[in-house]
Chains A and B, each alone.
Chain A
């Protein structure tokens, strides 16, 4: 892999730091007028998801990380691994629960998602920003209620629980924002 100097650290660049693949979030150039220049860098560890701040002497470099995001279709859960496929090539990948992480809440068979590969192995899974899922269980609501205020918990087909307005019923399909885990709207079939 190529190496990147602090001057090339831009949001989204993937680099290796202490053996872990990381993504640069922010890079601030700090230089006392007559003194040494530093780069104060905000970095996300792609394995743990943790964000740290780290200072480098300007001009230092890090090795690039072989990390790629690929759109894949979620296939099935075999009890131990979740399986994904690249639609164009039919290439398949399996990911353990630690790799899938919270994305498990939004994975529905046949849906597309982003699988991040590091050296060809799944590193993390990111669902689409919005998914449409069927409610499998929620308390019967009150008729005439509008979407403002209140709400009730609803269990979705993936097992995730979201708050929905009182008028939404079991069996209906709802659109959810996976970044916040919040209900967006009902989906007319």
Chain B
């Protein structure tokens, strides 16, 4: 049998990817945002309760040390911000173990950037501007900014911020998702993940850049709480059609609160039997030193390429997806 050595995507897609990367670099160069690199291989990893990481052994005989492949470059980029780098961006690979499907490859390309002194709203506007440049007037017709509570209410009639088991259960029973109650039980964030991904997200129009902000506090780990309403955080997500492209925060600056969330998430991971990472004490030290107020966002570039090329599977835009890597 012949070894399948050929790339999974067409040459045209390699060219499209190269043009996209050039446009992004031009966009940020024009705005004096500095391109940086941070390690993919690191002593610590994110504590996000729903992300699994790859580990590897760093051998320097007779010593051996477990290192983590990064699920995002966030912590290292924040250490740069605390050191006075100013606004920065990075295009890099990120790794998430066990994620594979139409929109997921366990190794993928991220664009992540941080804007010093930007509010979340300013960063959302910059995301929209970047998308306009990349789509060059095609495909995208408009931009819509909506709160999580508003969009949830619009498509389900439910209140996302006040958990009411009876209402949530009735809604899913009546809309063909009877299995939801057995999966979600009394876990508010699970219910939100279930209903949002099954009954809200699929309604987003393909020609609209939809930005959802004001995420319920139970769904956000590194965003600030909204000073006016403690039930929501200063987090947003962007979508084109039903495809989730990115996630942004008005970044948390308080090292004590950051440490509390680390501990909380590590406990959650431990309780759910997931592997427990090493807490990033260097990030905490950087926050203690002081990080300037900033907003940051990460966008999945492979999914962006799927949209730009109208591809129906992530493996069609990656030269060597995991099954032929």
Given A29-B99, A29-B102, A55-B179, are A35 and B198 also a contact pair (CB < 8 Å)? no
Residues of A close to B101: CB separation below 8 A: 28-31
Residues in B12-51 with C-beta less than 8 Å from chain A: 48, 50-51
Residues of A close to B183: CB separation below 8 A: 38, 55-57
Given A28-B101, A29-B100, A29-B101, are A36 and B198 also a contact pair (CB < 8 Å)? no
Does residue A120 face the partner (Cβ distance < 8 Å to B)?
Answer: no
Partner of B104, one of A31, A34, A40, A54: A31
Partner of A37, one of B99, B102, B192: B99
Contact A38 B100 (CB under 8 A): no
Residues of A close to B104: CB separation below 8 A: 29, 31
Does residue A139 face the partner (Cβ distance < 8 Å to B)?
Answer: no
Contact B197 A33 (CB under 8 A): no
Given A29-B101, A55-B194, A57-B183, are A34 and B176 also a contact pair (CB < 8 Å)? no
Given A28-B102, A29-B102, are A34 and B180 also a contact pair (CB < 8 Å)? no
Residues in A1-48 with C-beta less than 8 Å from chain B: 7, 28-38, 40
Count B interface residues, CB 8 Å: 31
Q: Among the interface residues A40, A53, A55, which one has the most CB atoms of the partner chain B within 10 A? A: A55
Instruction: Report the minimum CB–CB distance from A91 to chain B (whole Å).
Output: 35
Question: What 1/0 mask marks residues of chain A from 75 to 102 whose CB sits below 8 Å from any chain B CB?
Answer: 0000000000000000000000000000
- A35–B179 alpha-carbon span in the complex (Å): 18
**How would you classify the secondary structure of chain B's contact residues: helix, strand, loop or mixed?**
mixed
* Nearest-neighbor residue (CB-CB) of A30 within chain B: B197
Count A interface residues, CB 8 Å: 19
Instruction: Report the minimum CB–CB distance from A38 to chain B (whole Å).
Output: 7
Contact B102 A33 (CB under 8 A): no
Contact A34 B48 (CB under 8 A): yes
- A29–B98 alpha-carbon span in the complex (Å): 11
Residues in B175-199 with C-beta less than 8 Å from chain A: 176-177, 179-180, 183, 189-190, 192-194, 196-198
Does residue B159 face the partner (Cβ distance < 8 Å to A)?
Answer: no
Contact B193 A35 (CB under 8 A): yes
Given A55-B183, A55-B198, A57-B183, are A34 and B50 also a contact pair (CB < 8 Å)? yes
Does residue B220 face the partner (Cβ distance < 8 Å to A)?
Answer: yes
Does residue B140 face the partner (Cβ distance < 8 Å to A)?
Answer: no
- A56–B179 alpha-carbon span in the complex (Å): 8
Interface of B toward A, CB cutoff 8 Å? 48, 50-51, 98-104, 176-177, 179-180, 183, 189-190, 192-194, 196-198, 201, 219-221, 237, 244, 246-247
Show 17 A/B contacts (Cβ-Cβ < 8 Å), sorted by A.
A28-B101, A29-B102, A31-B99, A31-B104, A32-B193, A32-B196, A33-B244, A34-B247, A35-B50, A35-B219, A36-B189, A36-B194, A37-B50, A38-B197, A38-B198, A40-B198, A56-B179
Of all A-B residue pairs in the complex, the 9 with the closest CB atoms, nearest first, are: A29-B101, A35-B193, A36-B193, A33-B247, A30-B197, A57-B183, A32-B193, A32-B197, A36-B190
